[in-house]
């Protein structure tokens, strides 16, 4: 998890063989990937299959983000070392979502883009602060060098192994509540989550959502009413292949009614 453009997708892509390119597109929703690895802990080897969800970092998509984090056993929190706002957002926005919805599961920090860091001491101090405050490990990395990618995911796996027997505590309101996003983002978020709920859940649904947003030419950062209408129609077309027509039609009308209230 982490803000938009901090390097989440680049980091995951370095680790897994990712066949779907989204070079020209922000990650929409949550992209799910799998990776098999073996962890050595003490003298024992543990074969692990990691399911990694690359979650949309854009503010305003709480529904999609919350669906993405449910069931997580650990979270990799990614920030951009050249943007102080990006690690502050981990504290203010992302960690509270995790604590509230999943509980105190293991966290690992990844400070990305160290190749661009102007002040290495400051960069190390920020990571040290986060590690100490959240009792977590952290790594600095860069796509240029590729170093610390394996170590980061290795640490995630180890943290999960160690936490398996421990009860998870949830925190109801860890920080002040987050303000509602712009109305159009809220509706976009609602349409995405609604479609996925009726289309096999996040894993299946989001692949379709991603394709249809792309087809409609809608940027999730700046959706317009016209663009959203195209998305709603495209999603209806997809639903026609698996749902009765009356359901497809009522879904479409419901989504359009959400948009009607928009300015
Ligand atoms: P996100 O998934 O968190 O939104 P991306 O972020 O992985 O899409 O990365 C956003 C941009 O940051 C990309 O630039 C990517 O190449 C760049 N980036 C990611 N990691 C590093 C890094 O370690 N160092 C540097 N210098 N850049 C990095 P573009 O221009 O492709 O959008
Ligand atoms: Mg991304």
185-230 pLDDT, tens digit each: 989 999 999 998 888 877 778 888 988 999 999 998 899 999 999 9
Please say if the pLDDT value at position 13 is more than 80: yes
**What pLDDT score was predicted for residue 131?**
97
Neighbouring residues of 2: CB distance < 8 A, sequence distance ≥ 6:
8, 57, 77, 78, 79, 86, 89, 90, 94
* Ligand 2 centroid – CA 160 distance (Å): 23
Local structure of 224: helix, strand or coil:
coil
Average pLDDT value for residue range 121-126: 96
pLDDT tens, position by position, 137-177:
999 998 777 778 888 999 999 999 888 877 777 766 666 66
Q: Which residues lie across from 54 on neighbouring strands?
A: 31
Neighbouring residues of 162: CB distance < 8 A, sequence distance ≥ 6:
106
Mean pLDDT rounded to a whole number for the chain:
87
**Residues with C-beta less than 6 Å from any ligand 1 atom:** 2, 4-10, 27, 57, 112-113, 115-116, 142-144
Min mean pLDDT across 11-15, 28-32, 135-139 is at: 28-32
**What pLDDT score was predicted for residue 233?**
97
**What pLDDT score was predicted for residue 16?**
83
3, 4, 7, 112: which to mutate for ligand 1, most atoms within 8 A of CB? 7
Local structure of 40: helix, strand or coil:
strand
DSSP code string of 117-150: -S-HHHHHHHHHHHHHHHT-EEEE--TTT-TTHH
Single pTM value for the model:
0.78
């Amino acid at each position: 998890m982490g803000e938009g453009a901090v390097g989440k997708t680049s980091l995951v892509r370095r680790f897994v063989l990712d066949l779907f390119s989204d070079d020209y597109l922000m990650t929409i929703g949550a992209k799910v990937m799998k990776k098999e690895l073996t962890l050595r802990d003490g003298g024992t080897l543990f074969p692990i299959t990691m399911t990694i969800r690359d979650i949309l970092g854009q503010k305003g998509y709480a529904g999609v983000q919350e669906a993405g984090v449910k069931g997580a056993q650990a979270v990799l929190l990614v920030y951009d070392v050249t943007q102080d706002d990006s690690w502050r957002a981990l504290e203010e926005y992302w960690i509270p979502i995790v604590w509230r919805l999943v509980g105190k599961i293991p966290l690992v920090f990844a400070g990305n883009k160290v190749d661009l860091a102007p002040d290495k001491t400051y960069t190390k101090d920020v990571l040290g602060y986060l590690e100490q405050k959240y009792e977590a490990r952290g790594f600095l990395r860069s796509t240029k060098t590729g170093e610390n990618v394996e170590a980061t995911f290795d640490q995630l796996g180890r943290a999960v192994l160690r936490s398996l027997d421990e009860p998870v505590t949830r925190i109801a309101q860890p920080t002040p509540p987050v303000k509602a996003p712009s109305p159009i983002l809220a509706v976009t978020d609602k349409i995405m989550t609604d479609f996925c709920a009726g289309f096999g859940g996040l894993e299946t649904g989001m692949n379709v959502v991603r394709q249809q947003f792309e087809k409609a030419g809608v940027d999730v950062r700046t959706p317009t009413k016209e663009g959203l209408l195209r998305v709603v129609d495209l999603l209806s077309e997809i639903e026609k292949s698996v749902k009765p027509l009356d359901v497809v039609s009522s879904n479409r009308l419901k989504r359009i009614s959400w948009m009607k209230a928009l300015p």
